[in-house]
Structure 1
Amino acid sequence: MPNAFILPPLPDLPILAALPELMSALAASSRVVLEAPPGAGKTTVVPLALLAAEWRNPEDKILVLEPRQLAVRGAAARLAQLLGEPVGRTIGYRVRLDSKVSADTRVEVITEGILTRMIQDDPALEGVAAVVFDEFHERSLNADLGLALALDAQAVLRDDLRILIMSATLEAQRLGQWLPAPVVSSAGFLFPIETHYLDPRRAASLPNKPADRLAELVPAQVRAALNTHAEGDILVFLPGVGDLQRSARKLEDTLPDHVDLHLLHGELPLETQDAALRPARAGRRKVILATSIAETSLTIEGVRVVIDGGFARVPRFVPRTGFTTLETVPVARAAADQRRGRAGRLAPGTCYRLWTEAEHHNLPAHRPPEIQTADLSSLALELALWGAAEPTSLRWLDVPPAAAFGQARELLLRLGALAELRVGSEELRVETDASTKSTLNSSLLTLNSAKPTPHGRQLAALGLPPRLGHLVVRGQELGHGAAAASLAALLAERDLLRWASPTDTRPAPPDLRLRLEALASGRPPLPGLALHHATLQRARDVARNLTGRLSRTASLPTHQFAHPPVGLLTALAYPDRLAQRETHDRLRLVTGQRVSLNTTDVDPQATFFAVAHLAGTASAPRATLAAPLGQDELELAFAEQITTTDEVRYDPTTQRVTGRRVRRLGALLLDEKVIGQPDAKLVARALLDYLQEAGASKLNWTPTARQLQQRLEFLRQQFPANDAAEPWPAFDDETLTHELADWLGPHLTGLKTLDQVQRLDLYEPLLARLPGGWNQRQELDRLAPAALEVPSGSHITLDYSDPAAPVLAVKLQELFGLTETPTVAGGRVPLLLHLLSPGGRPAQVTRDLRSFWEKGYFDVRKDLKGRYPKHPWPDKPMEHIPTKLTKKRLGQ
């Protein structure tokens, strides 16, 4: 059936020159990459051109994905305007909680997350001719997921499905080689843009903190730009909503009467966003303070000046802690170019960059894709629903990081959204709602995979992050569906509360119950607070939508909990952030990590809390939203995770081992009782734990035991593992402390006090560590003897405290007649001789005894003979009889 769609007259945009090549590529290939810089007109022209493609069935749709709701509505309005129709006819759109489509709609502009739901419900995308990924260079998590699913469906079920990836700054050749796909390039068009950087001397005087830096720079630069440029509107890029509001407060009373001030971010009501986008009325100018929402997809008519603050707010997920925090980071060069381009869309323009030119060269080239920095719990659930056991079973431009994906899967298992597969001898199959999915991915199952549960399917259907979906579903089962929906809506949006004073930038009180109260009443819950009314309305819309979709069934009666149990509901969403008070300003999480919270701002009497939001850093997090919960609520909701164990520890203060029976939920202590007679093994373990913390120095190191340790260390250094029949293991204090349980543990059974431990002789336990048993003990005595018999007949203990130079300290008279220096280690190491005077003090230190007798001895004799006349000082020491006696006792 021929395609009857006739293209309307299209605006004269650079993309028109690339259309023939693009349409030819799409006719020959099911995957195409279109590289088109800002201002080329790709969003405006390409969807309409695809409607006229011969390969499109007249009834089939074109799906156009945009990264933001504002861009979705703007693109749909522009496309419908070109057709001379209202939105909802040939051109429609879908975003969360809002859509304008009809039976006549053939181009649907949608947010990227909508595609995931569509393809999960219909893997073959029946009735869809093409999927267009617009602004793909932003690399959102939903865009990467949608592309992976679309490529999988195309490869198996829909080889006729066209996938077009449109991007302004992405490395198109890399993408084309990866797909693989032909790359079509379009010229762009920008009017000349004059670019100004911050003076280095001015930059040196600014605060380091981005918020303070921007609060000082932006209002002054806006006023200067208004004075310098007689016409055109000004678009200002700032990282976050708070920055927009701070700048707005400084500007609103100082702008000329003919200048209107607008804010533009994704949380504003549609009419407020539209007002910021509309051209200024005749005789008036606009200043638009915007977040990165205005970087791409939108042409804001009238803008001739861009002021770029140079920062962006990005989420950072830390798998080690499971926390996601928002960070303000320097903008990437690619994003800075996008922002700069806004000044030259419709006329020559000017861009003021609030950083130095030298700083610009140090900016990162691109933002990292969201898939590398985000919480992947939603992605992990979607992949499980798709039947992909591991991310690597699909195609990714950047594979999800293993650590973050593993953390996400663990969370989903904990929430009951996934169930681990038990692998037996029978063949396993992935059960799905659509039989085609089993065909798609039956070969992708691995031994470590998990499959979605019915509960997981419920969570995905709600379109919320898994945590919040779990809160809604379980809250309904507890009989508090409306409260759960309201709380989930609040947690999905920015904070509802703020301080009424424009100069008060403190965060609002962290008590979540205040937010629920404000949501219900529409009034500030405390004096001095005010509401973000746009957030209030949006949260009410989301809550109303969720409540309408919940089932009416409940497994527990409402009266079992306080009404509403805000802490318990919060804990359902964040089971890894259950917390117990340690001090008035510090909590211990169920994971063991500490977070700061002024508990008097929430409930000064509560012991347990549920934390929803965290700020700060991974090493020093602070709770910004929390609610108290009772121990009865906690124990009922998490009964299966509570453990009862006997804990025995050594108390160095009382010098006794004490025992207690404790009930815990992770690191949270629920209850404890003293144990009168702890198990002997637990007592031994407690003593070991103390000794490992205090160190091996707390043990009974007799001189004999210490010398044995030093002899063994000496042999380890002299005979490395490759130079000995049996290896000589390490016997240093650090190793002995680390392996205390292995060599000392068996000797602690039955001991109850540290005093008893400190009476243990360490000699035999140390020898027992030798792997060669009795034979190696004999080698020890041969190679590193504890004592050496000297010519006088005395047995002198050797000192191995310096393993590089073992010492024989002996009176020199006892070595008369000995000409060669004694050795150890089988002759490898000569002993360091400390030749002592009759008074026991070193008279000479040498490793060459013969040389001493021939030269040094006579100097020593000269110094000592008069002091010790009763001792022999012969003229020929190498021929004299060795002795430890005086001349009188020798009969001289």
Structure 2
Amino acid sequence: MHRFDLTAIGAGLPVAGAMQELTDAAAAGAMVVLAPPGTGKTTVLPPLIANIVAGRTLVTQPRRVAVRSAARRVADLDGSDLGGPVGFTVRGQRQASAETRLEMLTPGVLLRRLLADPLLDGVDAVVLDEVHERSLDQDLLLGMLAQVREVREDLLVVAMSATLDAGAVAELLGAQVVEIPSPLHALTIEHAPAPAGRLDERGVRRDFLDHLARITADARSRQDTDALVFLPGAHEVDELVRRLRPLAPEVEVLPLHGRLPAAAQDRATAGRRPGEAPRIVVSTALAESSLTVPGVRLVVDAGLSREVRRDRGRDMAGLVTVSASRESIVQRAGRAARQGPGTAIRAFSETDEARMPARALPQIAVADLTDAALTMAAWGTPGGDGLPLWDAPPPASVAQALRTLRHLELTGEDDRPTPLGLRVARMPVGVREARALLEGVRELGDARAAAEVVAAVSDDHRAQGADLESLLRDLRSGRSPGADRWRRESDRLTRLAELPGARPTGAGPGTVLALARPERIARRVAEGSRSYLLASGTRAALPEGSGLAGQEWLAVWEVQRAQGRSADGTGAVIRLAAPLGEEEAQLLAGPLLTATRTVELDASGRVLAREVRVLGAITLSSTPVAPRPEDIGPAILQQLRTQGLSLLTWSDAALALRARLALLHGALGAPWPAVDDEALLAALPQWLGPDLTAQRARPRLAAIDVASALRRLLPWPEASRLDTLAPERLPLPGGRSARIAYTTDAEQRPVVAVKLQDLLGADISPRIVDGRIPVLFHLLSPARRPLAITEDLASFWAGPYQQVRKEMRGRYPKHAWPEDPLAG
């Protein structure tokens, strides 16, 4: 069994000095390792763990380029060939063998292995690196591995990070925390903000990229070192590379982002050999923490990040450019001081820095959870129920994801995976793309055609006028940027989806898109318009001049929020779509295609019924039909929900009963029902339904006894105490009684308005609802004009009464105004 030479691998790295402490902590079965950037945790800890355990050790890195870089570095230090003792697996590429003891892989690859083999047979340790990045896959892995450890106590799980809430992760895994300090190299921080700022409504400003190019070229020439520049996305990286090359002709300027071929990524992350020109590597956030670019002593940071944001109201999710977190800019600056003293230039002001968020939101809080929801369902924890997660996902996002999976027929009504769902969950591609790929092969009869569409939409290819068919022609001809990358992905997806015996049907790319996103099947809102209504209810417009203009139906893949003329007043622009026929749209809509019967009352009170066929929010047809007796009740309910309860005739008895029930609900809560408008409208079938079934084709709402209907809401057996808790009348001296006036306003007390003479001789302060609520007396003159208000009659007799008596006995001499009111 191969053993790694830890002395050679860890030479000069701070983590090597903590090997004994790490070995001791590993005996507990789980540990969380905190070590600053540059300490060698990614290099030293995985082979140390591999030496401790007997079986294979799996190590996740958040990105493919980091996986390959880490595997290559450990293999080089070990003196072995990549694919031997050290191997790696990323989507579409694998270098590993039977002798591999240490395998680097992405979190997504490990998730699919767990679904296929929940106990990870033959694996004795799993190391999760850079867990602070809080990717959705990493968060799911933490929860799933915590459950695996409950049945596999021999499985060693390690979480590593430079910055981390170690306590939360340690509690999740039942782990011991090991913190490895590191002597810091000197790091100089400079600020060089651009005068006009960094962003405008379109994203990163072009003049900011010019500014960034100038300060990078100038700083690198002054310091004569390799430099690393951080930008938010691949487009900005390529634009800055184009600007830098003429400003620094003596330097090799290299891009580094996820859209590059593996060879170009590896070239940017490999160390500069003796005699080679100095380098400027321009990178997205993938170089922030998960890999080291050797030789860098200068970092230039735009201070921007590309983060997922979800617009639930419009059912859109996408990447937006925002200020990076303070945690991120610290990580980025640390790249300059990993191997010696360095300088970090921040292309923003200290004021901008102070306004940055402390840390980025975890993906689970902001992302579309459709893929995660299928993973959790396939794991046996639908909706995450029972899965220990670092942060619980937002309930609304989970509910939306579960609805989407049901619409895609990947889960059943119990939210458990269907056979198709299980196959999709284990495929190395997104859920929507995998579903479109598999079902697209069946519809098109051509695995290559389906794979080409999925490869085009799952990468960052830009379509002129949002026209997918035009983009595919450019990719096939090689005219479009990234055509080689698209062709390789198409080959991989074709192998995944090949269906023996399938015959081409002639269906187009729109079929594949509709299978992936049936809720984005769209219909033009009017003849000549470029605006479309999506089945989800969102409206969006084609770009001006799009080749898709005039198409009645579209299958839409990508929609972005937008304002102004480009959005045609819809608030969104279609970025990628393909034509679709109406018949095909209905065949592919699945559960979104429904036929319903609608009923309503017209202005004259007649019941009108219609048969309506809809595709989500798109109305296909609406045909008048003869009403049935059973339509009457629903029509009235609909009118009441639309126009309100004032359509009913509220008698004094009904108003009084409603007020009494409101008092009891406010004072006692359940089971006494809420009777505000919202609650009564929600419960209409329960309390009003029996009266509606008796109505005829021309219903007479005025004939409904609302008081009797309300009594259907009374709880049993508590209803027998209604008159005791909230009586209609209050007994008075001499055998008389007075009506108690109740109100639905919770702030107003029940009132008894009574002539003062009716209470002479009474020393009472009545309270109702089991003594919780006092009754307020409105004391009246013989002419029934107000004299006083009190809830404490004894206090009134003892004080204010004498002034009232003095004023009133001359005005009403025929009525009793005794000096001692309690004597009667």
- Output the TM-score relative to the length of structure 2: 0.78
Provide the residue aligned with 2:447 in structure 1. 481
Residues of 2 paired with 1:151 and 1:129: CA distance?
Answer: 14
> In the alignment, which of 492, 495, 505 is matched to residue 545 of structure 1?
492
Provide the residue aligned with 1:517 in structure 2. 473
Provide the residue aligned with 1:564 in structure 2. 507
**Residues 453 and 255 of structure 1: CA distance in aligned 2, closer, same or farther (over 3 Å):** same
Q: Are the aligned partners of 1:314 and 1:327 in contact in 2 as well (CA < 8 Å)?
A: yes
**Residues 828 and 133 of structure 1: CA distance in aligned 2, closer, same or farther (over 3 Å):** closer
User: How far 1:458 sits from its partner (Å)?
Assistant: 2.7
User: How far 1:489 sits from its partner (Å)?
Assistant: 1.3
**1:68 is aligned to 2:33:** no
Provide the residue aligned with 1:96 in structure 2. 91
Residues of 2 paired with 1:459 and 1:209: CA distance?
Answer: 40
Provide the residue aligned with 2:17 in structure 1. 18
Give the AA of the match of 1:100. Q
| TM alignment of 1:682-693, pairs within 5 A | 682-693=631-642
Residues of 1 paired with 2:550 and 2:204: CA distance?
Answer: 40
User: How far 1:18 sits from its partner (Å)?
Assistant: 2.3
> In the alignment, which of 436, 461, 475 is matched to residue 471 of structure 1?
436
Give the AA of the match of 2:467. D
Q: Which has the greater radius of gyration?
A: 1
Residues of 1 paired with 2:694 and 2:316: CA distance?
Answer: 45
**Residues 855 and 664 of structure 1: CA distance in aligned 2, closer, same or farther (over 3 Å):** same
User: How far 1:172 sits from its partner (Å)?
Assistant: 3.8
Provide the residue aligned with 1:594 in structure 2. 538
Cα shift readout 1:773-823 (whole Å, capped 9, x = no counterpart) = 99979x9885699xxx9xxxxxxxx999998798999xxxxx9x9999999
The CA RMSD measured in Å over matched residues stands at 5.0
| TM alignment of 1:7-156, pairs within 5 A | 9-10=8-9, 12-15=11-14, 17-22=16-21, 24-25=23-24, 28-49=27-48, 53=51, 55=52, 61-102=56-97, 104-123=99-118, 125-150=120-145, 152-153=147-148, 155-156=150-151
Residues of 2 paired with 1:9 and 1:694: CA distance?
Answer: 80
User: How far 1:569 sits from its partner (Å)?
Assistant: 1.8
| TM alignment of 1:134-533, pairs within 5 A | 134-150=129-145, 152-153=147-148, 155-157=150-152, 159=154, 161-172=155-166, 174-197=168-191, 206=197, 209=200, 215-228=206-219, 229-245=222-238, 247-248=240-241, 251-252=243-244, 255-277=247-269, 279=272, 285-316=278-309, 323-357=316-350, 360-361=353-354, 363-386=356-379, 391=384, 396-398=389-391, 404-405=397-398, 407-419=400-412, 450=416, 452-478=417-443, 479-497=445-463, 508-523=464-479, 531=480, 533=481
Q: Are the aligned partners of 2:254 and 2:282 in contact in 1 as well (CA < 8 Å)?
A: yes
Task: Give SS of 1:462's match.
Answer: coil
Provide the residue aligned with 1:646 in structure 2. 597
**Residues 27 and 327 of structure 1: CA distance in aligned 2, closer, same or farther (over 3 Å):** closer
**Residues 227 and 379 of structure 1: CA distance in aligned 2, closer, same or farther (over 3 Å):** closer
User: How far 1:12 sits from its partner (Å)?
Assistant: 3.8
Q: Are the aligned partners of 1:800 and 1:807 in contact in 2 as well (CA < 8 Å)?
A: no
User: How far 1:226 sits from its partner (Å)?
Assistant: 3.5
Q: Are the aligned partners of 2:325 and 2:359 in contact in 1 as well (CA < 8 Å)?
A: yes
**1:625 is aligned to 2:572:** no
Cα shift readout 1:249-268 (whole Å, capped 9, x = no counterpart) = 6x358624434543321111
Q: Are the aligned partners of 2:691 and 2:709 in contact in 1 as well (CA < 8 Å)?
A: no
Residues of 1 paired with 2:26 and 2:728: CA distance?
Answer: 87
**Residues 773 and 784 of structure 1: CA distance in aligned 2, closer, same or farther (over 3 Å):** farther
**Residues 657 and 158 of structure 1: CA distance in aligned 2, closer, same or farther (over 3 Å):** same
**1:660 is aligned to 2:610:** yes
**Residue range with higher mean Cα deviation, 227-236 or 143-152:** 143-152
Residues of 1 paired with 2:6 and 2:660: CA distance?
Answer: 90
**1:612 is aligned to 2:551:** no
User: How far 1:41 sits from its partner (Å)?
Assistant: 1.9
Provide the residue aligned with 2:518 in structure 1. 575
**Residues 656 and 832 of structure 1: CA distance in aligned 2, closer, same or farther (over 3 Å):** farther
User: How far 1:558 sits from its partner (Å)?
Assistant: 4.2
Give unpaired runs (5+ residues) of structure 1: 421-447, 498-507, 524-530, 790-797, 810-814, 837-841, 860-874, 880-892
Give unpaired runs (5+ residues) of structure 2: 563-569, 768-773, 790-800, 817-824
Provide the residue aligned with 2:587 in structure 1. 636
Cα shift readout 1:697-749 (whole Å, capped 9, x = no counterpart) = 44567xxx4x556655676688888699x999887767666665566555555
Q: Are the aligned partners of 2:131 and 2:159 in contact in 1 as well (CA < 8 Å)?
A: yes
Give the AA of the match of 1:21. Q
Provide the residue aligned with 2:796 in structure 1. none
**Residues 635 and 170 of structure 1: CA distance in aligned 2, closer, same or farther (over 3 Å):** same
User: How far 1:541 sits from its partner (Å)?
Assistant: 1.1
Provide the residue aligned with 2:822 in structure 1. none
Task: Give SS of 2:465's match.
Answer: coil
Residues of 1 paired with 2:663 and 2:120: CA distance?
Answer: 73
- Output the TM-score relative to the length of structure 1: 0.73
Residues of 1 paired with 2:32 and 2:426: CA distance?
Answer: 31
Q: Are the aligned partners of 2:648 and 2:706 in contact in 1 as well (CA < 8 Å)?
A: no
**Residues 419 and 213 of structure 1: CA distance in aligned 2, closer, same or farther (over 3 Å):** closer
Aligned residues between the structures: 776
Provide the residue aligned with 2:565 in structure 1. none
Give the AA of the match of 1:18. G
Task: Give SS of 1:515's match.
Answer: helix
Residues of 1 paired with 2:235 and 2:720: CA distance?
Answer: 71
Give the AA of the match of 2:14. I
Cα shift readout 1:474-516 (whole Å, capped 9, x = no counterpart) = 111221422221121122211343xxxxxxxxxx523333333
Cα shift readout 1:744-776 (whole Å, capped 9, x = no counterpart) = 55555576788x647647677678679579997
Q: Are the aligned partners of 2:662 and 2:674 in contact in 1 as well (CA < 8 Å)?
A: no
| TM alignment of 1:802-817, pairs within 5 A | none
Q: Are the aligned partners of 1:260 and 1:285 in contact in 2 as well (CA < 8 Å)?
A: yes
Q: Are the aligned partners of 2:540 and 2:559 in contact in 1 as well (CA < 8 Å)?
A: no
Residues of 2 paired with 1:84 and 1:133: CA distance?
Answer: 24
Give the AA of the match of 1:169. T
Question: What is the identity percentage for the equivalent residue pairs of Structure 1 and Structure 2?
Answer: 30
User: How far 1:39 sits from its partner (Å)?
Assistant: 0.9
**1:695 is aligned to 2:637:** no
**Residues 117 and 761 of structure 1: CA distance in aligned 2, closer, same or farther (over 3 Å):** closer
Q: Are the aligned partners of 1:90 and 1:104 in contact in 2 as well (CA < 8 Å)?
A: yes
Task: Give SS of 1:346's match.
Answer: coil
User: How far 1:206 sits from its partner (Å)?
Assistant: 3.9
Q: Are the aligned partners of 2:406 and 2:415 in contact in 1 as well (CA < 8 Å)?
A: no
Cα shift readout 1:171-226 (whole Å, capped 9, x = no counterpart) = 44554454334444434354311113467xx88x7477586566444532442353
Give the AA of the match of 1:42. K
